[in-house]
A and B are shown apart, each in its own frame.
Chain A
């Protein structure tokens, strides 16, 4: 089945530095990738939608200059948290829209998530 590989799974960085999170679709082409943020014991908050070859669409309230999303190829999307601060510490998850064969519609395949801790 469809697999999205997300790396790193955990990262600790110093305040003021930037962190890049990668999501790769391993056996399919992900034309659309979604990036979510999840706070402890809470639901997933959609941050942005990225389409291959075009600028990401950010949800209201998400700083696009802080959370840089690049979707340069059909198999790779990246989220860079720039000038990270402790309040950016969170669990970040990517998701690719996946079309099933045989006209069975579509679903979403999620990466395993990245735990970012900014100290």
Chain B
């Protein structure tokens, strides 16, 4: 079945460092891909999305490109801030139209001043 694999965390960076969180997926057809962010004690917020191959999603300085050839959707940010500290989830919605979101295991990011 469809699945999402994220890099293990936690990831600890200094402020203004470059961030990459790897995400790869397994799916039949052409899934939509998402990155969500969860701050402590809160629900999930959509960070960015891409719905087809080579699409680049971007928001708040974060970017991710839908790479079908490598089945990847890595999250990047050029300069992280302390306020970016959170848990990041990569997710896919398969093309089977069940509507289910399948999540990766989440990656905790801690940014130190």
Interface residues of A (CB under 8 A from B): 6, 32, 34, 41-44, 46, 49, 93, 95, 97, 105-113, 115
Contact = CB atoms under 8 A, between A and B. Distances in A.
Contact of B46 (A46, A107, A111): A107
Given A6-B43, A32-B99, A105-B51, 5 more contacts: A43-B104, A46-B101, A97-B99, A112-B42, A115-B41
B44 A93 contact: yes
Given A108-B34, A110-B43, A44 B99 contact: no
Interface in B21-38: 32, 34, 36
A19 to B, nearest CB: 18
Contacts of B32: 105-106
Contacts of A32: 99
B58 to A, nearest CB: 15
Interface of B: 32, 34, 36, 41-46, 49, 51, 89, 93, 98-106, 108
Contacts of B108: 41
Nearest to A2: B46
Contacts of A41: 108
A34 B43 contact: no
A95 B99 CA distance: 11
B103 A108 contact: no
Contacts of B99: 32, 34, 49, 97
